[in-house]
Amino acid sequence: MRIKVLGCSGGEFPGRKPSGFLLDDKILFDAGSLTKSLDFRGQRRIEYIFITHAHLDHVIGIPFLLDNIIVSNIWHRVNIIAIPQVVRAIQKNILNNSIWPDFTAIPNIGNGVVGFIDLKPNRSIKVDGYTVTPYRVHHSVPAAGYLIESEKRKKVFYTGDTGPTGSTWEKLKGKRIDCLIIEVSFPERMEGLALKTGHLTPGLLKKELAKMDPLPGKIYVTHLKPQYFKTIKQELLGLGVKRLRLLKDGETIRV
């Protein structure tokens, strides 16, 4: 399993790109930095886009990808996959013929360059040799993290944006997760804001890890707010969790 980190920032600054994780060049998890990170050849390889939630920093690449495909005259269908609330938000608020064209009907009605697949929480879907299962997480809007399992039984769990959650870890209990990609957005002094908006601080992360049984083999932290990057980094180092490290834009995770 090879996951390229297109972006792992909790905001967009020079040198910092929003969330996007590309699995084996074809399956994308969140689209915050899609067209900023891939040339058109790379964009054309993408067939499936799993979205954790409909906030702009996780979906902004979708409209530009679809536009790039349709104007190229070498188009293919892209499937956007998410829980129903996320699918409806993208359809209603972005691909609505106002903010951006409805590419489900371009080039023809019923034969658009994009399709949507609704997922039910805790129900798996098989995509290109992988089993992907959405689990609801706690955020300010409807959101789901994804458990990705390869044919060789390797498991990755990507939380997307989340605050403290007990039910998610309870459902994952007993599953040996090889790699956890989990967010930490704010420093300790901003715990109140983190809780209000459905995010984590280093201290809250430590409490979440204590709920996991067993602890994942590798723990990668993502979604740090750029303004507080150095502070959050120091606080994470202070947790003393040996298998924990920060992600970097452009790196590749191998599981």
181 pLDDT higher than 90: yes
CB 164, CB 207: distance < 8 Å: yes
* Average pLDDT, rounded, for the chain: 97
Q: Which CATH architecture has domain 2-254?
A: 4-Layer Sandwich (3.60)
β-sheet bridge partners, residue 183: 222
What the block records as the tokens of 157 is 């769990």
84 pLDDT higher than 90: yes
Long-range contacts of 239-246 (CB under 8 A, 24+ apart): 239/202, 239/205, 239/206, 241/206, 241/209, 243/215, 243/216, 243/217, 243/218, 243/219, 244/219, 244/220, 245/218, 245/219, 245/220, 245/221, 246/220, 246/221
210 pLDDT higher than 90: yes
- Distance between CA atoms of residues 233 and 202, nearest Å: 9
Which residue would you say has higher pLDDT here, 46 or 242? 46
The pLDDT assigned to 3 comes to 99
Please state the rounded mean pLDDT for residues 107-116. 88
Neighbours of 48 (CB within 10 A): 19
110 pLDDT higher than 80: no
Dump pLDDT digits (tens) for 89-102: 999 999 999 999 99
**What percent of the chain has pLDDT above 90?**
95
The burial class, CB within 10 Å (0-12 / 13-18 / 19+), for 160 is: buried
73 pLDDT higher than 90: no
The pLDDT assigned to 74 comes to 77
- Lowest mean pLDDT segment, chosen from 47-51, 134-138, 213-217: 213-217
219 pLDDT higher than 90: yes
